[in-house]
Amino acid sequence: MLAKPDGHNEYEKAFEGWLCERGMRFARVDQTHRCLFEGQPLKTFDYVLYPKQGGCVLVELKGRLFRGRSLARRTGLQTWVLAEDVAALAYWRRQFDRQRPPTRAIFVFAYRLEQIAADCDGLDVYEADGRRFIFLAIRQGDYKSCMRPRSGRWKTVSCPAKDFRALSFPVEQIWLGEQNANEFHDTYIG
């Protein structure tokens, strides 16, 4: 992962550029300090998105490299996160939902495509600094329901490929098109 002078890595920079190009209102969350919850530090999420249909969407962004040649079956996608990310995102969704309902929480996986000619299976591709990215999301609750331990040492979990294929969706479904927006809005994603 490349660090940028302004503190952004390449995945954050690409995601923010993609959001700006699409006119999505968002706020980046300060990651320099952790909040305390019951005396323990609590990880914060990365972004708050403000879809046109109201409420907000909390985003935990995960940058991953995709080395495959095709996304048609969504195989070869790294979907691991820290177990702490899953619990913290659920906590924050509950807190925000009290004051800004409906609040939704998602993991966004920003995949940088290593193969220049990779088949993107109709997914929206964003180009930044000569690199290509796609953005897939999965609801925090869906992720939690199918996650499996990945590494006890690193305290990571992952979503099995079969479940990720079934439960993930292109990020633009959050706010593009009335049908997609309503489908997303009416589905519990906490």
Domain parsing of the chain, residue ranges: 10-186
Beta bridge partners of 103: 56
Find, among 90, 105, 7, 91, the residue nearest to 49 by Cα.
Answer: 105
Which pLDDT score, from 0 to 100, does residue 113 have? Answer: 96
CB 60 within 8 A of CB 45: yes
pTM metric for this prediction? 0.87
**Measured between alpha carbons, how far is 105 from 18 in angstroms, rounded to an integer?**
19
* pLDDT class of 131 with cuts at 50, 70, 90: very high
Using an 8 Å Cβ cutoff, are 106 and 141 in contact?
Answer: no
Q: How far apart are CA 140 and CA 60, in angstroms?
A: 9
Lowest mean pLDDT among 1-15, 61-75, 112-126, 137-151: 1-15
Mean pLDDT of 9-30: 94
CA distance 85 to 18: 23
Q: Which CATH number fits domain 10-186: 3.40.1350.10, 3.10.20.30, 3.20.20.70, 3.30.420.40?
A: 3.40.1350.10
- What the block records as the tokens of 99 is 């004051």
